[in-house]
Structure 1
Amino acid sequence: MSNQVDVAVMIGSGVPKNLREAGQKACWVVLVNGEQRGTAYSSRLEAEECREAWLAQLGASPIAMPQAQRA
């Protein structure tokens, strides 16, 4: 079975209260086979690092993402 590991953005009321209180209007989460794993991240870079760790743990090969989408 192939595992799908993605990064998704959450905005507005989907952002956890502690991040909203700190002024965050968006956050990023890691999804493994469509289910959120771990915490919400305040930056896309942090979420991408977590995604890479999941891919390594699951033995999957990452799919290269265009640089423009890494912002």
Structure 2
Amino acid sequence: MHSRVDVAVMIGSGVPATFKARGRRVCWVVLVNGERRGTAFASRGEALECQAAWMAQLAKGQAA
């Protein structure tokens, strides 16, 4: 099975309260097959790093 790993931006009401308390209005999340995985990230770069880790983990599982 081929898995899809995406990075999505969340704006407004989707942003966690802890981010809003620090004045952040956006965050990024990682979606695996359309389902959110893990935490929200303050930067797109952090989310992309998490995406790469998910893709590597899934590739290992498919190679087995």
Q: TM-score, normalised by structure 2?
A: 0.91
Percent identity between the two aligned chains: 63
1:52 aligns with 2:52: yes
Q: Which residue matches 2:13?
A: 13
1:40 aligns with 2:8: no
How many Å separate the matches in 2 of 1:37 and 1:52? 13
State how many pairs are aligned. 60
Query: Which structure has greater helix proportion?
Result: 2
Higher relative contact order (CA 8 A, sep 6+): 2
1:3 aligns with 2:3: yes
How many Å separate the matches in 1 of 2:58 and 2:47? 16
Q: Which residue matches 2:29?
A: 29
Q: CA deviation at 1:15?
A: 0.1
Q: CA deviation at 1:23?
A: 0.7
How many Å separate the matches in 1 of 2:50 and 2:16? 18
Deviations 1:41-63 (A, max 9, x none): 00000000000000000008xxx
- Letter of the 1:48 counterpart: L
SS in 1 for 2:2: coil
Cα-Cα RMSD: 1.0
Q: TM-score, normalised by structure 1?
A: 0.82
Q: CA deviation at 1:13?
A: 1.0
Unpaired runs of at least 5, structure 2? none
